[in-house]
Amino acid sequence: MDVFDALMAGGWLMLPILGCSVLATVIVIERFWSLRAARIAPRSLGQEVCERIRQGQIDLNWLENHSPLGTVLAAGLRNARFGQEQVQARLQEAAAMVIHDMARYLSPLGTIASITPLIGLLGTVVGMIKVFTVIVSTNGVERTADLAGGISQALVTTAAGLFVAIPA
């Protein structure tokens, strides 16, 4: 059985599972790209900031837009003249905003991880209903192909739902 046959065996419930799979993949790729270390905390940023401070040429707007770490550093430097408590408070506020931005799209990914097994379970129920409908019919036991189709749908949709949900 190839992939197409497996998708068709799962019936119409495979479409939302496939959509969830594509969406989860897009989110994961975007998060890997956006959260790479070189973008979040560039290696040379600390040295560059120290050098610019020594030269008296620090541009806080540049630093704030440079990277998420730069945003936090700029918040601390902007408030350096107000004392340690103010600096610490502003650093925490800036860090909370940066963390919020970094956690973007994780809620939809969690939702996908939650709903795909349920869609798979729905496929199981629909498949088992088909099986019992065949059994209840007059020649149910003799219609093994129909029985196998219902069982196949039940197993394929359950497996597909779990296959998407586990990595998500």
**Whether 116 contacts 168, CB under 8 Å:** yes
Mean of pLDDT over the chain: 83
Res. 2: pLDDT tops 90: no
Q: What is the pLDDT of residue 25?
A: 93
pLDDT in tens, 29-84: 999 999 998 888 888 888 888 888 888 888 888 888 889 999 998 998 888 888 88
Dihedral over alpha carbons 78, 82, 87, 90 (to 10 degrees): -70
Question: What is the reported pTM?
Answer: 0.72
Structure confidence by residue, pLDDT tens digits, 106-165: 999 999 989 988 888 888 888 888 777 777 775 656 667 766 777 777 778 888 888 888
**What's the pLDDT score for residue 107?**
92
Residues 6+ apart with CB under 8 A from 108: 23, 27
How buried is 119 (Cβ within 10 angstroms: 0-12 exposed, 13-18 middle, 19+ buried)?
buried
Taking a C-beta distance cutoff of 8 angstroms, is the pair 17, 106 a contact?
no
